[in-house]
Amino acid sequence: MDRRNDEVAALLQEYADLLAITGDDAFKVRVYEKAARSVAGYAGNIAELDADGLRRIPNVGSSIAGKIEEYLRTGVIHALEELRAKVPAGVRRLTTIPALGPKKAMVLYKELGVDSVEALEKAIREGRLNGLRGFGPKTEENLLHGIEVMHKTGRRVHIDVAARVAEQIVAELSAVPGCDRCAYVGSLRRMRDTIGDVDVLATADDSAALMAAFTTSPLAAEVIASGGTKSSIRTRDGLQVDLRVVPDDAWGAALQYFTGSKAHNIHTRQIALHQGLKLSEYGLFDTETGEKIVSADEEEVYARLGLPWIPPPLREDTGEIEAAQRGELPDLVTLADIKGDLHTHTDLTDGVASLEEMVAAAAGRGYAYYAVTDHAPNLYMQRMTDEKALAQREHLRKLAEAYPDMRLLHGTELNIDPEGNVDWPGEFLATFDLCIASVHSHFTLPRAEMTRRLVRACENPYVTILGHPTARLIGSREPIDADWDEVFRACARTRTVLEIDAFPDRLDLPADLIRRALAHDVLFAVDSDAHAVPHLDVMRYGVGTAQRGWLTADRVINTWPVDRLLEFLRSR
């Protein structure tokens, strides 16, 4: 049976959003949000559960179980349809304008019939907001600015863009005399695949000096807000950076709070409350005495709550707190565990650096092995031929003599055609050390055909790695649609390795699918897919994504020592 978890999770989340817009109480909104996350993270297939089984999913009570059952049986949730009828889609979009909350959006709709961002812009310009309660001239100005920003930067940025900005700001602030500690927090510390805004936290005796340095940073194209403990700037690309300065004795608690996620915080705060503690952005307090509990670091905060320290990439309230309570947190793969890169390109196809340059850079990183995997002939614009591939192999073998400590592998990135076939005949594929197979065309096949296509590629005995499996390009191409559990089962059966392509616009497999694949007992490879020397550095984003997928090092083949890796490649 098809897995329906994501579909149902999306509906529950939509229900929560609509409850918030129509002014239902915040508690109820949160109940549905939590249920949505639990359903999305549930390992089994919810379509196979009865009412009892549904109720056993964490955060799913009988009313929500009833709605899920109704949906699985009839294809609609009556209560959701009712709310949808009350709130047009355009009004929901309005709530994403900075400075416009759900309540005000609903007032605009009810009083003026404003049902889209465009309609709001027009209403403001025509002066129709004049006299509307809660909408002064200052609000109008904020709204117009919010709309402008939304038009310009409606989307979240790739993680590397945010990381560069964050690292520069942290370096600038750390150099200010009197700055004790400074770090970036928020979604970037959790290694999310896209970042809404950058959050930076610091401690200092003199917060004014830090704020001055921040608002006059070369990165600040605009100062959005500036205060004693909190300021915000916007970079020229439209990325917002928030800085908070906290007292030194609140560092641990503030670090924990601003790292988030919000859902993780809500859960940890509940645990604190049960123990007579109050956890907030201002610190950890004894509820009765009001006394502040010194929290020099996060370990102390978690220890006070009776928990081990939880790595930030896990902090999404998708089971990490329960795992921590049971002492079953995974020992996550780290960048230091990575011993080599198994997917890279050169200027023989679409890379921009030569083989010598790429190999020298790889050796500079201390890798124990490195695979060159240029594109195969069916990607016509790359103009690959048998002769070119063989000449490159010859070249690589000669170069290897200069790198006795790094094993050079000659591979290729094949193209999976719509039927699941790949470039070159088997005899030729057998001469490579390693073959990756990826989807580079026909992204919109129907699900069943797409699934068959990927499964066939896995069944090809020469294919070792399924490259960037969903083929998504973050912000510009949707992931292909396949029955992923079926694909993961095929990977497990054929011992085909799933790639986690570390390139910031791919991050593919995405973390939620990694976690799902884990349940199928498959192996992974975290690869840079580098097309230039600096791209070798993107490995860290792939590792972050692997961490968000709860991966341990033993599941990642390029953490293995060279002998074990070669043995594995040979056995295929």
Residues contributing to the site for Zn ion (CB under 5 A): 438
Please say which residue, 197 or 501, places its beta carbon nearer to ligand DGT.
197
Pairing mode of beta strands 465-466, 497-501: parallel
Q: Which residue among 262, 383, 397, 564 contacts ligand DGT (CB under 6 A)? A: 262
Q: Report which DSSP code applies to 350.
A: T
Tokens encoding 235:
């970079």
Contact segment (CB under 5 A) with Ca ion among 35-43, 238-246, 363-371, 525-533 equals 238-246
Please say which residue, 345 or 548, places its beta carbon nearer to Ca ion.
548
Cβ-contact 214, 175 below 8 angstroms:
no
Please say which residue, 315 or 343, places its beta carbon nearer to ligand DGT.
315
**For residue 279, what are the β-bridge partners?**
284
Q: ω before 261 within 30° of 0 (cis)?
A: yes
Q: Which residue among 186, 351, 411, 469 contacts ligand DGT (CB under 6 A)? A: 186
- As measured in angstroms, the least distance from the Cβ of 436 to Zn ion is 8
Q: Which residue among 231, 265, 318, 547 contacts ligand DGT (CB under 6 A)? A: 265
Give which of Zn ion, ligand DGT, Ca ion, none residue 262 binds (C-beta under 5 to 8 Å, depending on kind): ligand DGT
Residue number of the CB closest to Ca ion reads 186
Residue number of the CB closest to ligand DGT reads 260
Q: Is 336 exposed, middle or buried (0-12, 13-18, 19+ CB in 10 A)?
A: exposed
Rounded (10°) angle between helices 62-74 and 26-41: 60
CB atoms within 10 A of CB 279: 24
Pairing mode of beta strands 157-158, 434-438: unpaired
Please say which residue, 262 or 477, places its beta carbon nearer to ligand DGT.
262
- Of residues 292, 291, 288, 294, the one with CA closest to residue 275: 288
- As measured in angstroms, the least distance from the Cβ of 10 to Zn ion is 29
Q: ω before 509 within 30° of 0 (cis)?
A: yes
Please say which residue, 34 or 345, places its beta carbon nearer to Zn ion.
345
Please say which residue, 192 or 410, places its beta carbon nearer to ligand DGT.
192
By CB under 6 A, tell whether 187 contacts ligand DGT: yes
- As measured in angstroms, the least distance from the Cβ of 476 to ligand DGT is 19
d(CA 374, CA 391): 13
Give which of ligand DGT, Zn ion, Ca ion, none residue 260 binds (C-beta under 5 to 8 Å, depending on kind): ligand DGT
By CB under 6 A, tell whether 261 contacts ligand DGT: yes
Q: Which residue among 199, 316, 341, 423 contacts Ca ion (CB under 5 A)? A: 199
By CB under 6 A, tell whether 195 contacts ligand DGT: yes
Please say which residue, 99 or 363, places its beta carbon nearer to ligand DGT.
99
Residue number of the CB closest to Zn ion reads 438
**Phi, psi of 211, deg, nearest 5:** -60, -40
Q: Is 568 exposed, middle or buried (0-12, 13-18, 19+ CB in 10 A)?
A: middle
Chain positions 239 to 278 lying near Ca ion, rule: CB under 5 A, are 242
Please say which residue, 187 or 528, places its beta carbon nearer to Ca ion.
187
**Phi, psi of 394, deg, nearest 5:** -55, -50
Rounded (10°) angle between helices 78-86 and 62-74: 90
- As measured in angstroms, the least distance from the Cβ of 104 to Ca ion is 21
d(CA 29, CA 21): 10
d(CA 178, CA 209): 8
* Contact footprint for Ca ion (CB under 5 A): 186-187, 197, 199, 242
* Contact footprint for ligand DGT (CB under 6 A): 186-187, 192, 195-197, 199, 257-258, 260-262, 265-266
